[in-house]
Amino acid sequence: AAKAEGRNRSCYFTLSMQEQAQTRMRLVNDLHLALDQSQFTLDFQPIVDLSSGRIVKAETLLRWHHPVRGLVSPNEFIPLAEETGIIRSIGDWVFCEATRQVAEWRRQYGLDIQVSVNISPAQLRHEGLDHAFWRSHLDTLGLSPRQVIVEITEGLLIDSGDERIQRQLDAFREAGMQVALDDFGTGYSSLSYLRKFNIDFLKIDQSFVANLSADGPDLALCEAVILLAHKLGLRVVAEGIESREQYELLAAAGCDYGQGYLFARPLAPVDFEPLLANGTDLRPGPG
Ligand code: C2E
Ligand code: MG
Ligand code: MG
Ligand code: MG
């Protein structure tokens, strides 16, 4: 009986592995069509200056509207796009569309907000990442490279050669763009990255913000990171601010910028625009 059971188990295991592989294959196939069939859209999440509550930047977040499955999370499809190399054409589309949108907002509202775009490990690792193409796209739009921030995650820096990454990041900066280190604090050697790579912003990962309290250890960590960043001439963005308490603790700690549901969710352009038109202070009112 034990033997039969064992066989059954391994049978279930194999089946579910097979199902997973099939689901994955299907998603990869669908991903190939997604660009041509205009299934991607961009959301923009406001990043506010914590001392004024005003929107100074917007992070671009990719959305895939799958014809059958509905909205698929980037956490699910970005890894697939990376493994298969599709991320390169998707990444170019994101960059072009995000910068086009912000150039339009600048014209319409006369505002100087910066747009940040997430860049994948697979995009950076690719030697042919076309800085010249990106630059000429900005020229065509009449958008200064100073308005563009590229966000890279710590994770990606681990498994790639330092030198090549360094060169890629320097190429962005030589072109006049700025670089943000995303999800800071979650990697293996966060501090050594600060020494090795030329960056402009550091984004404190939302896992540190989630557990912030006046007497907890995460406040000490955030305070120390902010102090360190400022000493190195970097600006700090805190991610995932959901409560008034988190906002107040971070502002008191001297954090420069913040983003999170407390201020606004990631928004479709049509929902983002009213915030631009009013020059809104997104901080919560007293009480
Ligand atoms: P990320 O770059 O760290 O983006 C922040 C994530 O936190 C977003 O998830 C955002 O919706 C979410 N978020 C914002 N405020 C809050 C909050 O107050 N509370 C909580 N719990 N979450 C908040 P999203 O949109 O699901 O994106 C997940 C990840 O997918 C991103 O993490 C980024 O690594 C990746 N991603 C998104 N768009 C792109 C893209 O265009 N290209 C690449 N390569 N990666 C992308
Ligand atoms: Mg990001
Ligand atoms: Mg992040
Ligand atoms: Mg993240």
Segment 230-257, tens digit of pLDDT: 999 999 999 999 999 999 999 999 999 9
Atom of ligand 1 nearest to the CA of 241: 18
Q: Which of 148-157, 205-214, 223-232 has the lowest mean pLDDT?
A: 148-157
- Is it the case that residue 226 has pLDDT exceeding 80? yes
Contact at 8 Å (CB) between 34 and 235?
A: no
Contact at 8 Å (CB) between 101 and 269?
A: yes
Please tell me the predicted confidence (pLDDT) of residue 188: 67
Please tell me the predicted confidence (pLDDT) of residue 240: 98
Mean pLDDT of 38-55: 97
Please tell me the predicted confidence (pLDDT) of residue 2: 46
**Residue 283 has which token pair?**
């901080």
pLDDT digits (tens, 9 = 90+) for 109-134: 988 899 999 998 788 877 666 778 88
Please tell me the predicted confidence (pLDDT) of residue 160: 54
Q: Could you tell me which residue, 126 or 215, shows the higher pLDDT? A: 215
pLDDT digits (tens, 9 = 90+) for 256-276: 999 999 999 999 999 999 998
Counting ligand 1 atoms within 8 A of each CB, the residue from 239, 259, 263 with the most, and so the one to mutate, is 239
Residue bearing the CA closest to ligand 1, atom 13: 240
Please give the distance, rounded to the nearest whole angstrom, from the Cα atom of residue 261 to the centre of ligand 3. Answer: 14
- Is it the case that residue 22 has pLDDT exceeding 80? yes
- Residue at 92: amino acid letter: D
Helices (H) and strands (E) in the chain, counts: 12, 9
Distance (Å, whole) CA 232 – CA 221? 17
Distance (Å, whole) CA 193 – CA 196? 5
Please tell me the predicted confidence (pLDDT) of residue 190: 74
Average pLDDT, the chain: 89
Q: Which among 149, 166, 146, 147 has a CA at the least distance from the CA of 105? A: 147
Beta strands in the chain (DSSP E): 40-49, 55-66, 70-72, 114-118, 148-153, 178-184, 201-204, 235-238, 257-258
**What does pTM read for this prediction?**
0.92
> For the chain, percent helix, then strand, then coil, each to nearest 5?
50, 20, 30
Q: What crossing angle do the helices spanning 269-278 and 87-109 adopt, rounded to 10°?
A: 30
Contact at 8 Å (CB) between 138 and 157?
A: no
Please tell me the predicted confidence (pLDDT) of residue 97: 98
Q: Which among 97, 67, 68, 93 has a CA at the least distance from the CA of 81? A: 93
- Residue at 120: amino acid letter: S
Give the dihedral sign, CA 205/235/248/44: negative
| Residue 231: CA count within 13 A, CB half-sphere | 8
- Is it the case that residue 15 has pLDDT exceeding 90? no
Residue bearing the CA closest to ligand 1, atom 21: 240
Mean pLDDT of 150-172: 76
Please tell me the predicted confidence (pLDDT) of residue 117: 98
Q: Could you tell me which residue, 146 or 14, shows the higher pLDDT? A: 146
Please tell me the predicted confidence (pLDDT) of residue 17: 83
Please tell me the predicted confidence (pLDDT) of residue 1: 45
Distance (Å, whole) CA 1 – CA 20? 29
Distance (Å, whole) CA 200 – CA 115? 14
Please tell me the predicted confidence (pLDDT) of residue 155: 66
Please tell me the predicted confidence (pLDDT) of residue 279: 63
Q: Which among 219, 215, 259 has a CA at the least distance from the CA of 236? A: 259
Please tell me the predicted confidence (pLDDT) of residue 156: 57
Residues with CB under 6 A from ligand 1: 45, 60-62, 73-75, 78, 94, 118-120, 151, 182-183, 206, 239-242, 259-261, 266
Report how far apart the first and last C-alpha atoms of the chain are (Å, whole number).
66
ipTM: 0.98
**Residue 142 has which token pair?**
């009449």
